[in-house]
Every structure is written in structure tokens, then in C-alpha cells.
Amino acid sequence: MQFTLKNNIALLCLLFFAFQIQAQDDEVSFDMSVSKSKLGLNERLRVDFAMNYDGDNFTPPDFNGFNVVMGPAQSIRNSWVNGVRSYSKTYSYTLVPTSQGKHTIGQASIIIKGKEYKSIAKDILVTAAVKDPNAPPSASSIAGDNLHLVAEVSKANPYLNEAVSVVYKLYVSNSINVSNFRPLDNPKYNNFWSQDMPVKQYNIEEGTYEGKPYKFVTLKRVVLYPQKTGKLDIEPLSLEVSVDVPSGRRDFFGRPLYTSTNKNVSAGSRTINVKPLPTKDKPENFSGAVGEYTFSVTTNKTALNASESLQATVEVSGSGNLKLFQLPEPSLPSSLEVYEPEFEEDVRTTISGMTGSVRNNYTIVPSYKGKYPIPTISFTYFNPKTGKYVSLKSDEILINVINGPLNSASSTSTKEDKQSVITTGDQFQFIKLKTNLQSKNSNFFFNTTSYFLWLLLPLLLIPIAIIFGKKREAIRNDVTGNKIRRANKLSRKYLSAAKKSLGNKELFYIALEKALHNYLKAKLKIETSEFSKDKISELLEEKKVDTVTSEGFISLLKNCEMARYSPFSNVQMQHDYTKASEVINAMDKQL
């Protein structure tokens, strides 16, 4: 009985090992591996086709772009480890590239257990010849293979003035370490309105690049609003990165030693195709707003007395190009005195674009008693999600002026309202014809001190008038001073927001750029924010603005763009503000 039990145990073990071998044989694999994915024109490439089960009818690929200098070399390994059978068979080839460029090693095939298996094709990049093809990879080449700067663009086909986000990420493989980096070339974003979103802290995250595990860091984020249709290029971001790569050697304790090197990487140029806004069903009052908005017109009071003031607010809120369009203006009765609006904005920029609100605050003062309507105002925007224009209208507001003088135009009386008056002859009996008037003071004004002072007063005013006249004549003759005063008066109208932001680089140049566009918008009645600098130059040339003034205007716009990425001192900001005043004054004369 004991002998039979031992036989049964041995039989069970044999069956178990047999099942293990069968399971091993059922998991068939057939793979292709290459010694490197990037090599020089004078280097060699090894390609291995490995399988874990013997097969028939092995068919290699064509190896287009390469010459086979060795192979196929066949190797077989068959071993038992802890009762588990391990089998592998490999066909090896040594190749030499015939030309530079990107070549593809196609699929190989083999029949295993009556079934055909194919390997996965691989791409090989062949560069110019290297100095020493037999030398080990340099630190720079290792860094180049394991370091990648990528620009991720949110939309490839946006509409004109639709937000596009660009996120720059630096991918680093787990085999190297990055110690530092610095920008070499920041993109200018020509033909875009751009808003940089600074990354306050660099956080390391896990991700994949071309199917392989990598670590990555988000370096830069920017939101762009295209100002031109067609294919627009997003300039690349370039960095110099300090990298520690393994040297292949180890220290006394067996820890790997690293070699430091600097590597220049670039995100590459990206191209997007900007679609124009549809012309079909485009309303006449469309001012360039693109996004999703709400619109309202409100007043802080609807009943007041004449000469009192009220505030009327025209507000647009939502998400879109809030800083790049003009708010509609109310049409008010002439009896209401309206002052220049005060512009306010509460706009936040996120990675998806601008959100918030913009508003114009009007101060209104009625002159006469009566009821005055603020008519309905229409605002139109384009919704890129639906691809349609949307028109919004405000409610009519009635302003009731309770107390005040009557407007002569509205309070005239007719002859039919008048009645004839019958004279009786005694209407004026209350008037006394004889009076006893006596003077309370017998002193006369003539020959008094006050008399002589009033008599000498014109003589005293003569030298004052002469001095005042000379002062006015000096002011008229002061050409330079008059020019500065006129420039200051005109510049205060358009550059008030920029002057308030002197010292704050970002806010100052945003306000300055908007002031320059608003000036042209007011003078030429066009949306210059939709134009490039070249288009604005052509427009000024058509209006016969001299070259010096036109170039000064364009240089200010360029400074506004450069200030987003370059350090500008307070002295430079003051210089640009003064130059803007002079350019606006000179252009105002010529336009």
C-alpha cells in the first residue's frame, strides 16, 4: 500500500510538469528587437527576431534602406530550471544603412504550431555619419534620446479670436536626471493676442512619451487668440538643459556614476489653421466678440430731479475674447447730458481662456423735467461651439425726472388756450402817484474814498492786463510747450489707464497696447485689433501718415509684445509713455 502511494505521488508530479510544459508551449511569442533606434550613416544595426517555440518557414522583411552585411545567424537555447522548460530561438541580422532619413523595418513572419505569427514593424532614424561608429554612445546622444520638449496645442482648427492654449512640457526618461534649464529663445506669437500664465512651481509628474514611461514637468502655459485667418505658425520654445547621464561606471560602493552635459532641446514649430468667422447671417452690429456671453444695461436709479446724476452701466460677462471687442453704446435723448464712459474690467485668464466681465459706466445728468427712455441696446457675439451668431437685447429703461425746469420744446402753449381780458379803467388804482421819499443817509458817494478807489481801479488793471497779455503771447509763441500741452491733453484721454499702471510692467503694457488700438479705432472707425502690425502700417500709409510717426506707432506695439517676455525697467516704461503721447499727437494732426 505504501509503495502504491509513492507511485501515485510520482505520477501526479509528472502530470503537473507536463501541464506546465504544455502551458509554456501554448504562450507563443515572436518579437523583433533592434540594437538602437537612431544611428549614424556609418554605424551598424543589429536586428533580432526571437521566438519561444520552434517554427518553420521564417520570412524576414525586405530591409529597405539597409544592406545586410551579416546574417541570418541562428541561435537556440533550451534549458530546464526548477522543472520548468525554457526555449528560445533567434535569427540575427547585421545591417548598414544606405541613406539618411527615417526608414522602417517591416514585419517578419513564421509558422508556429500551424499558425502564422508576425513581428511589429519598427522605425529607425539614420543621421549623418559619426566620427567613431564603434565608440560607446556619448553623453550628449544619450541625453538627446531621453530628453524631449513638447508643445501641446489645445485646438488645431480654431475660429478667428477663439482661445487656443499651448502647454510646454519637458519629458525626461527615468535613466537620466535634469539638474537645471534656461530658455534660449522665447516665442513671439506673431499674429496672436497672447496671455502668459506663469508656472509658480515645477511639479514632477508621471506620464508616457511614445508609449514609454517618462517623467515630465510643465514649464510654460500660454493662451492665444488668433488675430488672422489661415495657417499660422506658433514659434518653438528652445531650452538649454543641464543633464546627468549614466557613465557606465560605478563607485567603490557599487553606485552608478553620472556624467554632466548640456543639451539644447526645442519644442518645434506648430501650425494651426484659423477659420474665418462665417459671413452668412453676420449682423451689422457685430464688433468681434467671440465666446459665450450675457448682456445687460442697468441704472442705479430711475427717478431723480434735474441736475442730479445717475449711473448707467453697459456690461458684458462670460468667457471669450473679453479684451478684444468694443462694447455697444447707448443712444440717449438730447435732453440728457452724457459724459465719457469709465471703462472697467474684471477679467481672469485661465488655461481655457478669458472669463469675467467688462463694462462701461456712463454718468447721465438730466436738464429738464419729464420722462426719458433709454432705448433697447443690441449686442451680438459669435459662439464657436455652435458656429452661429447670437444677438442679445437689453430692456428699455424709463428715466423719470420729477422736479426741474420744463423743456421749451415740450411746454409751448397755443393761442386757443389764452383768454381775452376786459379793461375796466381801475386796474391800476393801487399805484400811488404822490410819495414822500426821504434819503436815510445824507452822505453822497461823489468825492468819497470809495469813489476815488473805483476811479483808480482801471488804471491799476492796465499793468495787470499788459502782464497777462504778454504771458498769453509767450504761451502762443512757445511752440514746444504748446505741443506738449496738446499731447498731454490728447494722451490723457487714451493713456489714462496706462499712466495709472506705471511701475507695473504687465498691466502698463496691456493698457498701452489697448490705448493705441482704441485711438486708431476712434479715428478710423475700424477694429484694428483684428489687424497685424503689417496691416496697420499699410493702413497708416494709405492715410498719408509720415514714415517716422508710423514706425514709432509700430515700435510701441512691438514693445508691448516684447514686454510680456522681457524685463523692462521703470525708465523704459516712462519713455514708452512719453513716446506714445508724442506719437498720438503727431498722428492726430495728420489724420
Q: Let me know if residue 88 belongs to a domain.
A: yes
Structure pTM?
Answer: 0.50
Asked if residue 454 belongs to a domain, the reply is no
Does 147 lie in the same domain as 22? Answer: no
Separation of alpha carbons 60 and 107, rounded Å: 7
Give, to the nearest 10 degrees, the angle between helix 505-524 and helix 570-590: 0
Crossing angle of helices 479-500 and 570-590, rounded to 10°: 120
b/e map of 323-338 (b: 16 or more CB within 10 Å)?
A: bbbbbbebebeebbee
Q: Choose the final residue of a domain: 101, 127, 153.
A: 127
Q: What is the pLDDT at residue 412?
A: 35
pLDDT at residue 2 in the model: 45
Residue 246 shares a structural domain with residue 166: yes
Tell me if 304 sits within 8 A of 366, measured CB to CB. Answer: yes
Same domain, 144 and 248: yes
For the chain, count helices (H), then strands (E).
8, 30
Query: According to the model, what pLDDT value does residue 428 have?
Result: 43
* Spatial separation of the C-alpha atoms in residues 503 and 337, rounded to whole Å: 36
Task: Write out 243-295 in H/E/C secondary structure.
Answer: EEEEEEEECCCCCEEEEEEEEEEECCCEEEEEECCCCCCCCCCCCCCEEEEEE
pLDDT at residue 313 in the model: 95
Q: What DSSP designation does 489 have?
A: H
Q: Quick one: 216 and 298 in the same domain? A: no
Judgement on whether residues 145 and 270 belong to the same structural domain of the protein: yes
Which residues are CB-neighbours of 11 under 8 A, at least 6 positions away?
none
Give 204-210 contacts, CB < 8 A, sequence gap 24+: 207/171, 209/148, 209/150, 209/171
Which of 225, 245, 274 is at the close of a domain? Answer: 274
In a domain, 269, yes or no: yes
Q: Which pLDDT belongs to residue 576?
A: 82
* Residue 115 and residue 192 share a domain: no
Task: Give which of 359, 298, 369, 364 is closest to 336, Cα–Cα.
Answer: 364
Q: For the domain that residue 14 is a member of, what is the CATH number?
A: 2.60.40.10
My answer on whether 92 and 16 are in the same domain is yes
- Domain end point (choices 100, 127, 154): 127
Task: Give the domain range for residue 80.
Answer: 2-127
Q: Tell me the backbone φ, ψ of residue 496, rounded to 5 degrees.
A: -65, -40
Q: Is residue 240 part of a domain?
A: yes
Q: 159 with 261, same domain?
A: yes
Residue 420 domain-assigned?
Answer: no
Evaluate the omega torsion of the peptide bond into residue 72 and state whether it is cis, within 30 degrees of 0.
Answer: yes
Distance CA 272, CA 278 (A): 18
Spans of the chain, pLDDT less than 70: 1-26, 81-83, 131-136, 408-447, 477-493, 525-531, 564-568
Q: Are residues 64 and 148 in the same domain?
A: no
- The pLDDT tens digits of the residues spanning 500-535 come to 777 777 788 888 888 888 877 777 766 666 667 777
Give the whole-angstrom CA distance, residue 214 versus residue 207. Answer: 5
Whether residues 152 and 190 share a domain: the answer is: yes
How many domains is the chain built from? 4
| pLDDT (0 to 100) of residue 527 | 66
pLDDT at residue 420, as a whole number: 38
Q: Which pLDDT tens digit goes with each residue over 561-576?
A: 777 666 667 777 788 8
Helix (H) or strand (E) holding 498: helix 479-500
Residues 143 and 254 in one domain: yes
pLDDT of residue 391: 94
222 phi/psi in degrees, rounded to 5: -145, 145
> Is position 210 within any domain?
yes
Is residue 45 in some structural domain?
yes
Average pLDDT, the chain: 81
| Same-domain status, 89 and 147 | no
| 233 contacts 271 by C-beta, under 8 angstroms | yes
| Inside any domain, residue 299 | yes
